[in-house]
A and B are shown apart, each in its own frame.
Chain A
Amino acid sequence: MQNDSVIIANKLTKKFGHFTAVDAITFDVRKGEIFGFLGANGAGKTTAIKMMCGLSRPTAGEATVAGFDVNTQPNEIKKHIGYMSQHFSLYQDMTIRENIRFYGGIYGLRGKVIKQRREELIAELGIEEYANRRVEELPLGWKQKLAFSIAIIHEPEIVFLDEPTSGVDPITRRQFWNMIYEAAERGITVFVTTHYLEEAEYCNRVSIMVDGQLRDLDTPKALMDKYHKKNMNDVFVQLASTSTRTE
């Protein structure tokens, strides 16, 4: 394991009763990389993310995120990460400006900084005309882009994105990935799960989870070579079809 790893997981495990949702996964994520976290529905991706974000307590194993222990320092971790869940999590009954100010505020940013970032962000997204309208009035694609911008408003070291592009049209998805690239260029490590396998090819490295276990981890190209497939979709199908879990 390298020193510039921002996430190091070692046999991280979560059990719910007799069911092992995440089964001793071991991996590391390097600083500044875009790390794809793939797996079929129910493979345990969200549970694994929640453990790393300090939302869920691991049953066994350990992990450090941004240098802090998930078992003992969840609150320290929370200061250094951003998180965008698969449920849309902005306040629909508040305006875009209010949402940005609120999340900036609870991450402890100063009023001036919030104001400046807020206006920059609104300009970048090109949503000036919506800025004082309620979030519920925004089209879904824009909501997702806004949610991502807010998730990194405090310039975290790592941002966790749990299926950020589900239900979004291809053009918006493309724009969304441009935002991810920009964030990565600024040095924010991106940890992303997705169902769209062509998106997996945009990642620096990809891991594939099957039945709670990490089946493989490498660059998309190396994985395609290894399994003699032309695209990530076929790699995924081959690995995921070994699943014995029923949904």
Chain B
Amino acid sequence: MRILKYLLRKEFQQILRDRGMLPIIFVVPVFQLVILTYAADFELKNIKYVIVDRDRSQESERLLARFNSSKNFHNMGERTDFKDGMEALDRNQATLLVRIPNGFSRDLQKEKNATIMLDVNSIDGQAASLSYTYASEIIRKFNDEIAMEWNGLPQKASFPVEVKTRYWFNPEMEYKNLMVPGILAMLVTMVGMFLSSMNVVREKEIGTIEQINVTPVSKIAFLTGKLTPFWILSIFELSFGLVIGKLLFDIPLSGSLGLLYGFTAVYLLVILGLGLLISTMADTQQQAMFLSWFFMVIFILMSGLFTPIENMPVWAQKLTLLNPIAYIVKVIRAVLLKGSTFADIKNDFIVMAGFAVVILSMAVYNYKKRA
């Protein structure tokens, strides 16, 4: 215990003395939080579309006027035929091709049923499905309007079940509310992981680790001395990010902050443990950096932060069960947006504690005082 005090004092002295590092730890996250939050906007505005109108009727023009007035769509003009329209999609001049076939208004009036075609450029699947959703919404409203005019009331016959959606927990569909907590989790992870993974290996590079290894200091004491300062720093980083999130983006803080900190505290043991494990495996800071990046990129992309886990193939969804970042992203969103309680995230807590035990044991085991 007494020895740990000296180890901790030394680590803090070195961290706080590094004039270059401290500002990086606190300035960079602010930039990331602000830039990423604004950039990771999932709402699509100005989806470019082209039209092939073979009907040229009053009805077709009314439908197209609706597209025209939508803030989600931007009219790139008319094309003469399907081939022409597809070429526009091909050349990335438009994402959506709206085709109104000959006889649209006739079918509509006679059969009470007409077809239009939507061709969507699906290279970006997410954007494609959003374009489709927006377009369907416009067409549905057009339907209602026509039905209202003809029958005096919405035509229930063709829409026996009407779907009304209410968006819970994030009523304004405010993507910022979704992104800020997630990005915050990512920042805390990045800072913790990089700092811890570079640390022990740095002592290997400058040779001081040999001097430590020849002392009776236990492996656990040494690694505890390494882990604790970064743990405190990362917790501080979380607080810092929460304040910025609240001030700049007014994110909701629905749940218990104590619960959030409690979970993050356990989560950080996993991330810092992984960093230390990498540090004990690597021989140079370069190797440690590369390994950290490898894990970070996979963990972040498969965390559900930018793409919903539900969209992944089943095997990938199963893999995310091993991804600590997926847990923190889920928990931080649940606690901040939904106000989840301990009972709701108990399982995540248990899993995370299990991860912590495994990873920390591996780090201690893998740190060899004797070659």
Contacts and interface: CB of A to CB of B under 8 A. Distances in A.
B14 interface: yes
A57 B370 contact: yes
Interface in A77-126: 78-79, 81, 83, 85, 87-94, 98, 101-108, 110
B254 to A, nearest CB: 44
A55 interface: yes
A74 interface: yes
B14 A105 contact: no
B371 A105 contact: no
B258 interface: no
A53 B208 CA distance: 15
Interface of B: 2-3, 5-7, 9-10, 13-14, 17-18, 206-208, 210-217, 369-371
Interface in A44-88: 50, 53-57, 74-75, 78-79, 81, 83, 85, 87-88
A106 B14 contact: no
A53 B214 contact: yes
A85 B214 CA distance: 10
Interface of A: 50, 53-57, 74-75, 78-79, 81, 83, 85, 87-94, 98, 101-108, 110
Given A94-B17, A105-B5, 8 more contacts: A55-B371, A78-B215, A85-B210, A87-B206, A91-B208, A94-B13, A98-B13, A103-B215
B9 A102 contact: yes
A99 to B, nearest CB: 9
Given A89-B208, A93-B14, A106-B217, A54 B6 contact: no
B172 to A, nearest CB: 50
12 contacts: A54-B214, A55-B369, A57-B370, A78-B216, A85-B210, A90-B211, A93-B14, A104-B6, A105-B9, A106-B3, A106-B215, A110-B2
Contact of B3 (A56, A83, A108): A108
Contacts of B17: 93-94
A88 B370 contact: no
A54 B370 contact: yes
A69 to B, nearest CB: 13
Q: Dominant SS at the A interface?
A: loop
Identify the 6 closest CB pairs spanning chains A and B, nearest first.
A105-B6, A87-B207, A89-B211, A83-B214, A78-B216, A79-B216
Contacts of B211: 83, 85, 89-90, 103
Contacts, number: 78
A139 to B, nearest CB: 19
B210 A89 contact: yes
A81 B214 CA distance: 8
A87 B5 CA distance: 26
A75 B5 contact: no
Contacts of B369: 54-55, 74
A87 B210 contact: yes
A89 B208 CA distance: 5
A103 B215 CA distance: 9
Given A55-B369, A106-B3, A85 B217 contact: no
Contact of B216 (A75, A94, A110): A75
Nearest to A134: B17
B5 A74 contact: no
A107 B14 CA distance: 20
A167 to B, nearest CB: 15
A90 B17 CA distance: 16
Contacts of B6: 101-102, 104-106
A140 B326 CA distance: 50
Given A78-B214, A105-B2, A89 B207 contact: yes
Contacts of B13: 94, 98
B14 A91 contact: yes
A102 B18 CA distance: 18
Nearest to A89: B211
A88 B207 contact: yes
A81 B211 CA distance: 12
Contacts of A88: 207
Contact of B371 (A57, A81, A101, A103): A57
Nearest to B208: A89
A56 B214 contact: no
Nearest to A104: B6
A106 B7 contact: yes
Contacts of B215: 78, 103, 106-107
Contact of B10 (A54, A78, A79, A102): A102
